[in-house]
Amino acid sequence: MIGNDIVDLALARKESNWKRNRFLDKIFTKNEQQIILNDVNPEIMVWNLWSRKEAAYKIYNRETGIRGFFPLQLECSFENVTMGTVYIKKKIYFTQSKIKNDSIYTISVVEKEYFKKIIRIDTAEEILKKNGIPFIIDFETKTDKPVSITHHGRFWKGITLMD
C-alpha cells in the first residue's frame, strides 16, 4: 500500500491562512504545533506535516475503508525534514517528504522497503477507479495495479509499486 500528496506552496498561501484562529488546533496535535512553531519557517512545516497526514490517510482509507476528516488522529512523528512516521490507532506508516520548486511532496508506505520500489506514472497513463480508489492495468500482466495520485495547483504526481 502506498499514498502520496503534494502541496503547491504558492496556492496553499493563497487558499489557506494557517494563522487563522484555531486553524492549527483543528488539524495538529500539541506536539505537532510545537514542531511547527519552533521551526524557522513555520509555514513550510505546516504543509510538510499536512502532506504527511494526507499521504498516510490515503493508505489508511484504503486499508480500512474508513472515510472521514480526522487529521488529529493521524499523528506525525518527526524524524527530520525528509523522514517521518504517521501513527493512527495501532497503525504506522512511513513517510518521505521532498521540498522543491515551491512544492512539498510526500510519499507514504506501509513498509520502509517500499520506498525503493516506487515508480512514477505519468498523466498519459489511463487511470481507472474502483470504489473511488485509482488503479492502472499493467501492460504486461493485464492485472490491476493500485496507484496513488495527487494534484494541487501546478503539480501532479502519480505513483505505483514495482512488483
Partner 1 sequence: MNKEQTIEELKNIVKPYIQNQEAFDVLTEDTDFINDLKINSANLVDVILDIEEKYDIVIDNEAMERMVNVKAAMSIIEAKLSEKN
What single-letter DSSP state applies at residue 111? S
Residue 73 or 85: the one with the smaller Cβ distance to partner 1 is: 73
Q: Which residues contact 109 (CB under 8 A, 6 or more apart)?
A: 1, 2, 3, 59, 93, 94, 115, 118
Among the listed ranges 13-21, 36-44, 82-90, 133-141, the one in contact with partner 1 (CB under 8 A) is 13-21
Report the residue from 54, 55, 60, 157 that binds partner 1 according to the rule CB under 8 A.
Answer: 54
| Binding of residue 22 to partner 1 (CB under 8 A) | yes
Residue 138 or 156: the one with the smaller Cβ distance to partner 1 is: 156
Cell digits of residue 83: 523522514
Contact map string, positions 94 to 133, toward partner 1, x by CB under 8 A: --------------------------------------x-
| Binding of residue 30 to partner 1 (CB under 8 A) | no
- Helix 30-38 to helix 42-64 angle (10° resolution) is 150
Residues facing residue 59 across a β-bridge: none
> How far is 97 from 100, CA to CA, in rounded Å?
10
| Binding of residue 152 to partner 1 (CB under 8 A) | yes
